[in-house]
């Protein structure tokens, strides 16, 4: 089994190769080690993997993802039962040298969250290296998941541990639909620039364009959440507030913003999203 210094050395090399911070590599590895435990557990089909970390396996998103997101699947959304499940998953033994333990759980009821549910904090460690990961679990959305093989961390072309794991995941069309609904329903109150960021990148995926599956996913998501599909509109003050947030987001990405060809003007982002909404409308989708 690899020791602490060897792990740090390998992560330094990976961070340099991927041009990303060491801490981001470390966090990604932690999240993957927890996912690997979930994949081997009897609870694997109770969770549908979603969110930015899943999206990072589908495409280059160019931003750090520091937590895991799931939709609860065929399981009672009671905190006590969910805590017991996480305690069991965290306690699973493995020969990777990592240890996990349940820390705490809180209800996700903040206005900025797009779903009700729970945030679980899991303690993680490798030798003397210690950290925590957040696992957000939503309830109530209607999703038809797919099964996906997820390739895990590699070091010089070889798997760090397992080569891959299998999980139930959100289809990419549903990821798009939920992010679009979040942007529309929250309007200028949405301070999460990652939603606009991800939508813009998803729109460049030609497989989504004129897709019957996409239109069906948008309809199901908007119907389930009681949201009307319409063009994004902001007054002058709302646009200025979003532009300020977008400027900070672009600045935080550094060179990656240029590599991803992200526009500096928020109006360009909104126009691209509205064009997509108009295309969906032209295809005859009634919401």
pTM given for the model = 0.89
How far separated are the first and last CA of the chain, in Å rounded?
55
* pLDDT score recorded for residue 205: 80
- Six-digit token pair at 276? 């997509």
> Are 212 and 149 within one domain?
no
User: What total number of domains does the chain contain?
Assistant: 2
Whole-angstrom Cα distance, residue 141 to residue 220? Answer: 9
Q: Which residue has the tokens 């030609």?
A: 206
Structure token digits, residue 237: 């003050």
- How much is the pLDDT for 147? 96
State the DSSP code for 165. E
User: Which residue numbers in the chain have pLDDT < 50?
Assistant: 110-113, 285-287
Single residue among 143, 170, 197 that ends a domain in this structure:
170
Q: State residue 85's pLDDT score.
A: 96
Question: Alpha helices of 187-235 — where are they, by DSSP H?
Answer: 193-203, 212-225
Domain end call among 104, 135, 170? 170
What DSSP state is assigned to residue 150? E
* Residue closest to 119 by CA, chosen among 98, 138, 131, 136: 136
pLDDT per position as a tens digit, 108-153: 864 444 556 899 999 999 999 999 999 999 888 878 999 999 999 8
DSSP 92: -
Query: Distance of CA 246 to CAs 155, 198, 257, 262, Å?
Result: 34, 13, 11, 10
Does residue 184 sit in the same domain as residue 162?
Answer: no
Helices and strands (H, E) in the chain, number of each type:
10, 9
Q: What is the pLDDT of residue 272?
A: 93
List pLDDT tens digits, range 165-188.
Answer: 999 999 999 999 999 998 998 887
Residue 170: count of CB within 10 angstroms of its CB: 27
Domain boundary among 152, 170, 188: 170
């Amino acid at each position: 089994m690899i020791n602490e210094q060897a792990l740090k050395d390998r992560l330094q090399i990976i961070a340099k190769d991927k041009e990303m911070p060491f801490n981001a590599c470390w966090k990604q590895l932690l999240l993957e080690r927890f996912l690997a435990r979930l994949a081997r557990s009897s609870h694997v089909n109770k969770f549908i993997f979603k969110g930015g970390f899943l999206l990072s396996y589908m495409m280059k998103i160019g931003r750090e993802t520091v937590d895991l997101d799931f939709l609860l699947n065929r399981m009672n959304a009671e905190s006590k039962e969910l805590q017991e499940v996480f305690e069991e998953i965290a306690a699973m033994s493995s020969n990777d040298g990592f240890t996990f333990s349940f820390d705490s759980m809180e209800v996700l009821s903040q206005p900025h969250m797009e779903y009700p549910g729970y945030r679980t904090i899991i303690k993680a460690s490798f030798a003397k290296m210690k950290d925590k990961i957040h696992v957000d679990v939503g309830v109530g959305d209607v999703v038809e998941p797919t099964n996906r093989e997820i390739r895990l961390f590699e070091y010089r072309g070889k798997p760090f541990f397992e080569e891959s794991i299998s999980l139930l995941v959100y289809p990419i069309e549903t990821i798009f639909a939920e992010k679009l609904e979040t942007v529309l329903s929250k309007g200028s109150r949405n301070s999460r620039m990652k939603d606009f960021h991800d939508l813009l990148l998803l729109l460049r995926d030609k497989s989504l364009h004129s897709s019957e599956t996409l239109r069906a996913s948008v309809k199901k998501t908007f119907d389930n959440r009681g949201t009307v599909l319409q063009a994004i509109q902001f007054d002058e003050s709302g646009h200025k507030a979003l532009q300020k947030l977008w400027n900070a987001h672009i600045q935080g990405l550094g060179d990656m913003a240029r590599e991803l060809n992200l526009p500096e003007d928020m109006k360009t982002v909104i126009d691209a999203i509205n064009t997509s909404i108009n295309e969906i409308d032209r295809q005859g989708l009634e919401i």
